Amino acid sequence: MCLDAERQLADYRELLNQYQYQWQRPSRCASGDSCVYVAAAPGDHILVAGSGEDAATALLRVSGSDWATLPDGIKARRP
């Protein structure tokens, strides 16, 4: 990874760690070991992470409008 990309990633992680996120998991996730968690983030974004992750290691960051269209996109691709 180039130094510029490493610095941008470090800045992003520092920014994310400045906020207290209210991580939520689906109600159908009984054990909590293999769940996907979501949290609202500044700037109308949604963070998505696996169990044991935190904001600095979130797997995905999407806009609120993209998040809102996700269920319809999944339903449209069902066989």
Taking residues 31-35, report their average pLDDT. 66
For position 12, what pLDDT does the model report? 65
Instruction: State pLDDT tens for residues 4-29.
Output: 777 777 766 666 666 677 878 777 77
| 20 within 8 A of 41, measured Cβ to Cβ | no
E-assigned strands of 1-79?
A: 36-41, 45-50, 60-63
Residue 37: burial class (beta carbons within 10 Å; 0-12, 13-18, 19+): buried
What pTM, to 2 d.p., does this model score? 0.60
Q: Is the pLDDT of residue 44 over 80?
A: yes
- Of 14-23, 32-41, 45-54, which range is least confident? 14-23
Higher pLDDT, 43 or 2: 43
For position 47, what pLDDT does the model report? 84
**Domain coordinates in residue numbering, the chain:** 3-76
